[in-house]
Structure 1
Amino acid sequence: MAVNAVLLAALSYGVYMAVVSNAEGTGYSGLGGGSNTNPGLLDRLKGKSDPAVPTKEQFLKPDGIYFGAATVKAPYDAAELDRFSTDDGGIRPTMASYFLDWAHEFNPYSITAAYEHGTLPVLTWEPWHGGVQNPAGGVILDTNTSQPDYRLSNIINGKFDAYITRTATAIADAKWPIVLRLAHEMNGGWYPWSEAVNGNKPGEYVKAWRHVHDLFDKAGATNVIWTWSPNIIRPKPNVKLQPYYPGDAYVDWVGMTGYGVHEKTPETTFGPTIRQLQTFTKKPIMIMETGAQIDSRQLRWVNAFFPWLKKNPEIIGFIWMEKDRDTGARANWRFTSSKAEQQAFQAGLATLHLATGQSSTPDGQSSTPDGKATSTTPPASPTPTGSTP
């Protein structure tokens, strides 16, 4: 099923215009664009002052729904995003999701590349040396929880302060907003930053998060959209989320990882977690990773996903895992895994008002009929270091 032609044309123009030139120099006009590169943007991201640089606040309460994609080469490869938009998705994402472990340095060009393609960069930043790759695809998470160098106590006590400060300084110098998902899925037991493994102790996760946040503040990295992102509670139903929450002063968005696995509806997948989150915070919610496992229920789940989004205005966007076992994921989550699912996804996506990257109404409330926020994702990037779903 083809997407709405008017909507697609508007989005394509928005992507093209994401980076433009004006009398002030390079200017920003929104998310959702093509592979057009403007050389002036590179200079701005090297630290030059420019009043046209968008602010973090501009993205916090968007004017529509963010549609992100986690692709193989995000956020660097414009051609991959072009193929995704024309051959696979029909509508270009407005966010680009990529991963980085703490054994590697942050590349500021990832921010530049994302905005050049009209996407908001979304970095999952993982405090470990990375996972052991499974020859059959994905990461063998259960064998990687014992990494003593990356105990939460070492983060708290300053062992990584130099690395954290270098990263914060590079992000601050870039000036443009970036979504930072730090130490995600902490309520599970499959990463070394979980309090249940690696010699960690109760209460250390919050202390580590706040320590990193304070170092970013000290470095002037006020362009970070801090996203705290547990896993849905299904695998660990007895682990409460609130003890891991750093507090509203340290968080901008609340994220979730959740995939449709043998479930009929997204309400079954996400509902219990959302209800628990809303007992201790009213921050906007982003679904940071999602997809549907291939089985007899997959198409039903995808068909239900978009109407469900519209009924839950506290959710401002989602990032779809567009990978399979051959490209680093632990299952085939791609909405392009079958023609029927691709058509259902495209049809559902066309019913949403996607975020443009512009400010919402002056009082911070969404101006869209659904009362939701959205954004775009950048082109695909090299295979991320760290975990894969």
Structure 2
Amino acid sequence: MISHPRTARVLRPTRMLAAVMLASTLLAGCTTFSGKGRDEYNRAQGEQPGADSSAGASASAKAEPPYDVRSLLQPAKKYLGVAADGAPTKMTGVADFAKRGGKKPNLVEFYSAWGDQYESQLVQKTWDYGALAFIAWEPFDASLKDIASGKEDDYIRTYAKSVKSLNLPVAISFAHEMNGFWYPWGSKKATAAQFTAAFKHVHDLFDDEGATQVIWVWSPNVVNPMPKVKLKPYWPGDDYVDWVGVIGYYAATGPSTYKTLYGPTMSQVRSFTKKPFIIAETAAQAGERKPADIADLFQGTAERSDVVGLVWFNFDKETDWRINSGPLSEQAFKKQAADPNFGFDVTKP
């Protein structure tokens, strides 16, 4: 478990789907959204000219079609992601990571607290940089029970409408590490049934609002610290999840290989779904073993066709997880990141 940093945030006030979808567009798989959600966008394409009265709108303009995220779900190459200090509010940490790592990341993760508005500017800024935004949405200020029961619907709908309005792809991980005991939505303070009900309810409200630009990420912690907490009861179902975002770090003690760190979790997951994995949060603790850990992470990810990439937690927090914690670590990361299997243009996957 890592205590996550927060980006500066705005406190609560409170793009293509064609009409005819060719088979070739389906090669990357399907999103979890229902036909109803997609129909919302088909109807939007038929809006009458002039319906948008905002300044400068062309009288003959048609509604912009929704961003179709399917090509981003299982791309031919793998994501090279990062969570970096201050990003994406300030991209200096991402730029430094890219310089030291020898390659620009194409996915940037940041953390958003429940009650925050959808941070459209940060998602846009990330996209303009050439990366997909990945938001870890943390419900600190609302219980899973209340979310599932509808008490937070106004907030969720407002958030979903903003996602739809921006019309850029975004990955969202709701209530990550739910199988752990360290968060208020975790195993000690909430049940698996409450988690799945809340996850499904949030997804359904986005669907209802037609916010189909989301890649939904279900993100358990690796099961090693709590082997008795089984994952299947926490599974919302294939209709609700696009990526399985496994979270696990190479620490000084404990599992130290890809197989022992991620294997038990992936084996459990494969017993109930074939959805692709992404290593949603990882890094290696500073020390003599770190260069080997970095190599193991990249090579393990490269060898598995069902893992779409990784996200490196590039912080000096609690311990120095940064790729530049030592010269050999930085050198190892740069060597592994040079693998052409990692990194691609998310705007043209």
By the TM > 0.5 criterion, same fold? yes
Equivalent residue pairs, number: 288
Question: Paired residue for 1:343, among 310, 320, 331?
Answer: 331
Aligned counterparts of 1:196 and 1:49: Cα–Cα separation in 2 = 46
Give the deviation of 1:202 after TM superposition: 4.4
In structure 1, the gaps of 5 or more residues are 1-42, 130-149, 361-389
2:235 pairs, out of 245, 267, 273, with: 245
Residue type at the aligned position of 2:271: T
Q: Please state whether the residue corresponding to 2:118 is helix, strand or coil.
A: coil
Q: TM-score, normalised by structure 2?
A: 0.78
Pick aligned residue for 1:67 from 75, 80, 84: 80
Secondary structure of residue in 2 paired with 1:203? helix
> Following the alignment from structure 1 to structure 2, what is the Cα–Cα distance between the partners of residues 71 and 202?
31
From 265, 277, 287, the counterpart of 1:295: 287
Deviation at 1:358, TM superposition (A): 5.7
Q: Does the 8 Å CA contact 1:124/1:180 hold for their aligned counterparts?
A: yes
Check the 8 A contact 2:102/2:337 in 1, yes or no: no
How far apart are residue 50 of structure 1 and its match? 4.0
Asked if the contact 2:102/2:338 (under 8 Å) is kept, the reply is no
Is 1:204–2:194 an aligned residue pair? yes
Match of 1:115 in 2: 127
Q: What is the alpha-carbon distance in structure 2 between the residues aligned to residue 359 and residue 116 of structure 1?
A: 13
Quick check: 1:225–1:252 contact (8 Å CA) kept in 2?
yes
User: Relative to structure 2, which stretch is displaced further, 72-81 or 270-279?
Assistant: 72-81
Q: Does 1:216 align with 2:206?
A: yes
Distance verdict in 2 for CA 1:173–1:358, change over 3 Å: closer
The one-letter amino acid paired with 1:214 is D
Hey, what's the Cα distance between the residues in 2 that align with 1:195 and 1:106? 27
Q: Select the structure with the greater relative contact order (CA < 8 A; seq sep ≥ 6).
A: 1
CA distance in 2, matches of 1:221, 1:319: 25
**What aligned pairs does 1:1-389 form with structure 2 within 5 A after superposition?**
49-50=63-64, 54-86=67-99, 88-129=100-141, 150-197=142-189, 200-261=190-251, 262=253, 263-325=255-317, 330-353=318-341, 354-357=343-346
What is the SS of the residue equivalent to 1:276?
Answer: helix
| Per-residue deviation, 1:97 | 0.5
Cα separation, 1, equivalents of 2:62 and 2:113: 29
Measured in 2, the distance between the counterparts of 1:162 and 1:50 equals: 25
TM-score (norm 1): 0.70
Runs of 4+ in 1 over 6 A off after TM superposition: none
Offset, 1:359: 6.5
C-alpha distance 75-250 of structure 1, shift in aligned 2 (>3 A):
same
- CA separation in 2, counterparts of 1:48 and 1:172? 16
Question: What is the CA distance between 1:106 and its match in structure 2?
Answer: 2.1
Deviations 1:130-171, CA, capped at 9 Å, x for gaps: xxxxxxxxxxxxxxxxxxxx2221111111111111111100
SS state of the match for residue 76, structure 2? coil
CA contact (8 A) 1:59 1:358 kept: no
Is contact 1:59–1:359 with CA below 8 Å preserved after alignment? no
Shift of 1:196: 2.4
d(CA) in 2 for partners of 1:153, 1:295? 42
Distance 2:219 2:160 in 1: 20
Identical-pair percentage = 35
User: Hey, what's the Cα distance between the residues in 1 that align with 2:165 and 2:67?
Assistant: 14
Quick one: distance in 2 between partners of 1:120 and 1:201?
31
The C-alpha deviation readout for 1:319-346, integer Å capped at 9, x for no partner, is: 0000012xxxx32211111110110111
How far apart, CA to CA, are the structure 1 residues paired with 2:291 and 2:165? 44
Instruction: Evaluate the alpha carbon distance shift between residue 115 and residue 209 of structure 1 in structure 2; reply closer, same or farther with a 3 A threshold.
Output: same
Cα offset, 1:306, TM superposition: 1.9
Closer/same/farther in 2, CA of residues 202 and 73 from structure 1, 3 Å limit: closer
SS at match of 1:246: coil
Aligned partner letter, 1:84 = F
Q: Any idea what SS the aligned residue of 2:179 has?
A: coil
The change in CA–CA distance for 1:48 and 1:74 in structure 2 (over 3 A counts) is farther
Q: Is the 8 A contact 1:58 1:357 kept in 2?
A: no
Q: Structure 1's 297 and 106: CA in aligned 2 closer, same or farther, altered over 3 A?
A: same
